[in-house]
A = this chain, B = another copy of it.
Amino acid sequence: MDELIRVGVLGARGRMGAQVRAAVEAADGLALVAEVDEDDPRSALVDARAQVVVDFTHPDVVMDNLRYCVEQGLHCVVGTSGFDTARLDTLAGWLADRPGVGVLVAPNFALGAVLSMRFAELAARFYPSVEIIELHHPNKADAPSGTAAHTARLVARARAEAGLGRSPDATTHDEDGARGALVSDVRVHSVRLSGLIAHQELLFGGEGETLTIRHDSLDRTSFMPGVLLAVREIVGRPGLTVGLENLLPL
């Protein structure tokens, strides 16, 4: 038992938190030792001697949670959204004072999303054309999705490094906006459809050929392999890590 990684969950009664609890309990080498939600004291994490804390809570409380955990020397795996550069800088400052502690912040824990982004960076250098289509259930408030926007920026950077300009486009008439959004000069299209869950297509095109990378998330469980991987890796990775891709041997 000594060798098990002791895991606490913040936001334990939320939908993602419930998945995390079940996944940790079923995983080899991990022990679920604390379940904390909004009405519970965070000290329960320390009392239970948690080593790693998984936070799927809310943008309004995540920074407080992280300050507490870092101060207490708890490693963190964070899936809560809402991290901008300012927040990441603040977090990095706290970690500078606690050099042994590791925190991972990731916008998407699905392996397929992470692999898609990595493949997108690799493919982007070779194709004159690229567009992104993301497709989600109709209850989503934002368009485009954070993952699509992030992917567009990665693609744009890779294209710039390869000396590629804008994708060719002879469109002269598009009164109604059918050509979608430009994110870092990459076209992104957002579909909202009943029956869908979370899907993304990256389309690359060149002379006589196209390459399509499609990721389909059909269930919240798809995030769990990434969360478990992160829990296992973060104990040996001090400082701030942004993006699950940094933990994968790609």
Minimum C-beta distance from A178 to chain B (A): 4
Contact B209 A205 (CB under 8 A): no
Contact B131 A133 (CB under 8 A): no
Residue of B nearest to A217 (CB): B209
Q: How far is the CA of A129 from the CA of B139 in the complex (A)?
A: 12
Minimum C-beta distance from A214 to chain B (A): 4
Q: Which residues of B contact A210 (CB under 8 A)?
A: 112, 193, 195-196, 215-216, 218
Contact B191 A116 (CB under 8 A): no
Q: Which residues of B contact A183 (CB under 8 A)?
A: 176
Assembly stoichiometry (copies) = 4
Minimum C-beta distance from A122 to chain B (A): 6
Q: Name A214-230 residues within 8 Å CB distance of B.
A: 214-225
Q: Which residues of B contact A208 (CB under 8 A)?
A: 195, 217-224
Binds B, one of A48-56, A74-82, A83-91, A165-173: A165-173
Q: Name A154-184 residues within 8 Å CB distance of B.
A: 167-174, 176-183
A59 within 8 A of B: no
Please classify how large the interface on chain A is, using the bins under 10, 10 to 19, 20 to 34, 35 or more: 35 or more
Contact B211 A115 (CB under 8 A): yes
Q: How far is the CA of A222 from the CA of B194 in the complex (A)?
A: 11
Q: Which residues of B contact A205 (CB under 8 A)?
A: 193-196
Minimum C-beta distance from A104 to chain B (A): 17
Minimum C-beta distance from A147 to chain B (A): 13
Contact A170 B138 (CB under 8 A): yes
Neighbour of A212 across the interface among B125, B182, B213, B250, CB < 8 A: B213
CB contact under 8 A between A192 and B179, given known A212-B214, A215-B211, A250-B122: yes
Q: Which residues of B contact A181 (CB under 8 A)?
A: 174, 176-178
Residue of B nearest to A123 (CB): B115
